[in-house]
Each structure stands twice: as C-alpha cells, then as structure tokens.
Structure 1
Amino acid sequence: MADQVPLNQAPDDNRQVVRRSEPLSLTPAQLAERAIIPYVDGANRQLVDSFRELRTRLLATSNDNFITLIAPVTEGCGGGFVARNLALAMTFDQARSSLLIDCNLRQPSQHAAMKIDTPRGGLLDYLENPDATVESMMYSTGIPRLSLIPAGRSGLGGMEIEHFSSFRMRLLLDSLRSSHADRYIFLDGPPTLGAPDARMLSELADVVVLVAGYGRNTVADITAAAGNFDPQKFAGVVFNENG
C-alpha cells in the first residue's frame, strides 16, 4: 500500500466496550499464506503502520461503530487484500472487533484467501433462506476478534443487485452492528466501474474507501469510480501495490 488521501477528522470514540481475549491459532507463516500482514518482532512495520493510520483516520470520522465499504476501482487492484488487512488492523485494539463480509459475489475471494471451508454457506445462502441464522454463516478466522462472512454459493450472474437492495440485507447489517457496540463491519465490495453493485452497497455503508491499483488505474478511472459515491461518505483513495 503506497499512499492514501487524507480522511476527515472528528472527535475520538470514548465509549466503553467489553474486552475479549481469544487465542491466536495462526503462525506468522500461515498469516503470510493468507495475504495477511504478519507483524512479529517489528517485521513489516511500514506496511502495518499504513493500515493502522488508515484505521485511526476512519475511527476519527464517527463516534459510533460503523460500516466501511472497501471498493476497488477495477478487478485486480487488491480490494480484497486491503479489506482483509484493514479489518485486521481494527482488532489490534483489544477493545474492538471486526467482521469482514465478502460482498464481491461474482468473484468472491475471502474464504479461499483465508483458507476457510464454508460448509454452512455464507451471505447469499442467508439472504435467500428465511430460516437461516446469522450465527450459521459466521466463521472464525484464527485471528482474535476477527470473523468472516463469506459470499456463499456463486453463479448468480447479475442478480446481486436484488440482494444488495433487499430489506433482508439492510436488516442484516443493522442487526450485526447493533448487537455488538465494539464491532466494526467491513464490506469487501465488487469493482466500482462496469456495474452498479458497489454504488448500491455504498448506500448501506457509513464510509467508503476506494482502492486503486498502483500503476494499474488511471486518474480518469479513479475519478470516474469516486463519482459513484456520496461525497459525505467518501473517505479517500488507497493506492495498493498488491494485486
């Protein structure tokens, strides 16, 4: 990650939350296999600090736990990598937890990247099954205070639009946020250009972070992608070198 546009500043969040303690079951090598930045004995300090800085600026935008959409400009510019590591950075504070939701329904990647089997399905299965429970689609990642909701079954073509605008999707996010005051939700979104899905997801989010591929996306691409989002929600652009 090379740089990011400065985010707006706001008062710090001083709320009291319940602290949690979970064992770390992944080794630094296993974290690296999952394209999660291992931070052991000062390794990867510059890259880790970049995500810590982005996390701090996001926290300054609101006094409440919030929903952040991570939206790549185009496919292949590392939106999933940024979403995964930004969600991780939130958990560095033991008073906070993260939930990562894979909303890139056409090309889901988080379950494979994190090497998680999903026998119970995921987001799509929940949205299409009124009897499904929230707990059934949440998976442990092996990282303290970080959970994953995978995309679930694939092959829906263009039907994502109906899911992202559905009452059940909105109700899900409201429930996930209100049930834990210390939980910050990160949506790993689909590419912004070429389809309206990211824009529709942004209507459910409080903050939008755009991910541009360093040397991949042009200024015109980035400008066009940013134009899809409400300026009041748009936090800035992250230039990512990891595809």
Structure 2
Amino acid sequence: MENRNSGIMGQAKGIWSSLKNVAKQHTRPTRMPWNPAEQTKGGMEDKDRLAPDGQLRQGTSDPSRKGLAGWVSPTYTHSRAVSLNPLTAAANRCIAVSPDNTDVEAFKVIRTHILNRTANGGGRTIMVTSALPGEGKTVTAVNLSFTFAREFQQTVLLVDADLRRQQIHKLLGLNTGVGLGDYFLENRPLPDLIVWPGVEKLTLISGGAAVRDSAELVGSPRMKDLVQEMKNRYPERYIFFDVPPVLTAADTLALARLMDHILVVVAAGFTPIHDVRRALEVLPGEKVLGLVLNTRKSE
C-alpha cells in the first residue's frame, strides 16, 4: 500500500535504515520504527461513525465478539460540547476525523501496535513528541486519538500539553475556551477543562490560556497531581499528550517523567539523524514505544 495523504512513512529506504540503527541503540530491541506500508492486511476492523450532537452515543455491536454486544459508550453529560469543523480538520490533514477516509489505515496499524504493546498493563498515558518543530507530531497525535476512539469499546482523552504553541484547537477548528493553561493560571478543576467535540468516545483538553515559563509549571507537583488524577478518574482511557519537541523545550523532559509511554515522530528527509539520536538519548528509553515516520512537513 502506498500511503498518499496520511504522512506516515512507507518508503525512503535510506533514512529508514538509519533510523533502525538509532532505535537499536536507544530503545529495546523489539521496539522498531513501524512501517504501515508493509502491513496492508490483518488490521483491526472498526465500526467507524460519528454520533450527532445530543444523540445517545452507543457502542457498536459485533456478534463475533462474545460478551461485548450491546456495550454502550459513555455519555459526556459533564463535559462541555463543542463543534469541530470537518473542513478545517481535513485541510490540516486530520484525516481520521472522517470515518470514510481510506488513508487512515496507516494509523490503524499503529493503533494495533500500541494496543498489543500496552495490553498487559503498564499504563495508558502516551506522550507524542518529536526532535524538532515541524515534524508532524500534533497531526499524528490528533489522528491517533480519533483512530483509537473508533476501536470497539475504547475511550480516549486528547490533551494539548504544548503550552507554548497550542495547535489542536486550530487544527480542528474548535472554540474550546478554557484548557490546560487555565488549570495553572486560574486553578480550574479537571472536569472544567474537558470538552466533547461531538465524536463518540473521545474528549479533549485544549491548551487554554497562554502560559509563560511553561517548563516550570509542567514540572511542578500540580502537573504531577493532574496526570495522576486523569489516571485515577479514567483508568480505561488512552490519554494522548501532544507535547513540545524534545530538543527545543524543557517541558517535554519534565512531562516524560510522568508518562507511561512515548512516541517519537520523525519527518523523513527533514530531520537530521543526529537530532533523532539526541532526542532518544535524553528521553527515558524504556518508555519509548517506537518511532512514527512522517513523509510530510506539517507544522
């Protein structure tokens, strides 16, 4: 399968080989960069659909999955409803917003890898980062979150933790109001931060108010308390954090200590190999699930 729009790397053998060598040095041997183009079959089937505003958000039934038929997904009665703009999302390459986009298959393959590697516990908080700006980490975090939400009986929380350069609400055309920054600046509680964008089984926290000295805040005990509260409140949810690039902000290393897992997005043909190596050297290697190769500069 040749991927056209998703931005997940399928070719470019030269950089692929180099990145494999980097991964061998700084992550466990089984955690290689993923090549979705090599896996066109065997993906997990989805019941892809969006639930209209105000409608009961019911889980889909599959008779072949014993014990799961009739499962009902949560209704977010305490989360403020906002409306995303599908045209804005599509223009920003958030392709997984549309359940009918065939190019989302690459993200389904990545989802399968993550589900397999986290199936035996070990936590569900996943930090999505990159070595440098412009590698596509935010688009990847958004697309993975939407793809996970369409997995049967799986809920997701997407958090914009890049407080210096908040992008998620812009990519989706959202007017979210309060967000993570307001937790620090105005002592807003966690439930006030969460919004429901009209997508079944998915909620999000935007960046909110602009924050100066964000590294000090995300490295503070308050951030540790917030992450722990998320884990305690939502033990079954996958929680994706979009965070700043590793080599340009101290925020990321502070947040890495609080995360269960880390994904590193690499822009093929754009990111120098030595920068990928530097990023992996400073991140806790035991938490790195792998590298996601992106063929297009997007941020």
TM-score (norm 2): 0.69
Deviating more after overlay: 53-62 vs 220-229:
53-62
Partner of 1:66: 124
Partner of 1:87: 145
Do structure 1's residue 117 and structure 2's residue 175 form an aligned pair?
yes
- Residue pairs, 1:124-143, within 5 angstroms: 124-130=181-187, 132-143=188-199
CA offsets, 1:154-188, max 9 Å, x none? 151xx111111111211111111221232110010
- Residue pairs, 1:29-48, within 5 angstroms: 29=87, 31-33=89-91, 35-38=93-96, 39-41=98-100, 43-44=101-102, 47-48=103-104
TM-score (norm 1): 0.83
Identify the match of residue 270 of structure 2 among 216, 220, 225: 216
Identify the match of residue 225 of structure 1 among 279, 282, 299: 279
Contact 2:86 2:172 (8 Å CA) reproduced: no
Q: Which stretches of structure 1, 4 residues or longer, exceed 4 Å deviation after superposition?
A: 3-6, 25-31, 38-41
Counterpart residue identity of residue 216, structure 2: E
- In structure 1, the residue corresponding to 2:282 is in which secondary structure? coil
Do structure 1's residue 2 and structure 2's residue 9 form an aligned pair?
yes
RMSD: 2.5
Relative to structure 1, is the Cα distance of residues 40 and 172 closer, same or farther in structure 2, using a 3 angstrom cutoff? closer
Identify the match of residue 56 of structure 1 among 94, 99, 112: 112
Do structure 1's residue 205 and structure 2's residue 259 form an aligned pair?
yes
Alpha-carbon distance, 1:30 to partner: 5.9
Do structure 1's residue 185 and structure 2's residue 239 form an aligned pair?
yes
Contact 1:34 1:115 (8 Å CA) reproduced: no
Q: Distance between the aligned counterparts of 2:197 and 2:99, measured in 1?
A: 18
- In structure 2, the residue corresponding to 1:59 is in which secondary structure? helix
Contact 2:155 2:236 (8 Å CA) reproduced: yes
Alpha-carbon distance, 1:26 to partner: 6.6
Alpha-carbon distance, 1:125 to partner: 0.8
Identify the match of residue 20 of structure 1 among 73, 77, 86: 73
Q: Percent identity?
A: 26
Partner of 2:60: none
| Higher RCO (C-alpha under 8 Å, 6+ residues apart) | 1
Alpha-carbon distance, 1:109 to partner: 0.3
- In structure 2, the residue corresponding to 1:182 is in which secondary structure? coil
Q: Distance between the aligned counterparts of 1:134 and 1:74, measured in 2?
A: 30
Q: Distance between the aligned counterparts of 1:94 and 1:144, measured in 2?
A: 11
**Structure having the higher Rg:** 2
Alpha-carbon distance, 1:118 to partner: 2.6
Partner of 2:204: 148
Q: Distance between the aligned counterparts of 2:86 and 2:161, measured in 1?
A: 27
Contact 1:126 1:133 (8 Å CA) reproduced: yes
Counterpart residue identity of residue 259, structure 2: A
- In structure 2, the residue corresponding to 1:144 is in which secondary structure? coil
Do structure 1's residue 168 and structure 2's residue 222 form an aligned pair?
yes
Counterpart residue identity of residue 129, structure 2: A
Q: Distance between the aligned counterparts of 1:27 and 1:117, measured in 2?
A: 10
- In structure 2, the residue corresponding to 1:107 is in which secondary structure? coil
Deviating more after overlay: 227-236 vs 173-182:
173-182
Counterpart residue identity of residue 69, structure 1: M
Q: Distance between the aligned counterparts of 1:220 and 1:151, measured in 2?
A: 30
Q: Distance between the aligned counterparts of 1:27 and 1:141, measured in 2?
A: 10
Counterpart residue identity of residue 74, structure 1: L
Corresponding pairs, count: 227
Q: Distance between the aligned counterparts of 1:224 and 1:26, measured in 2?
A: 36
Contact 2:125 2:240 (8 Å CA) reproduced: yes
Counterpart residue identity of residue 114, structure 2: L
- In structure 1, the residue corresponding to 2:95 is in which secondary structure? coil
Q: Distance between the aligned counterparts of 2:133 and 2:226, measured in 1?
A: 26
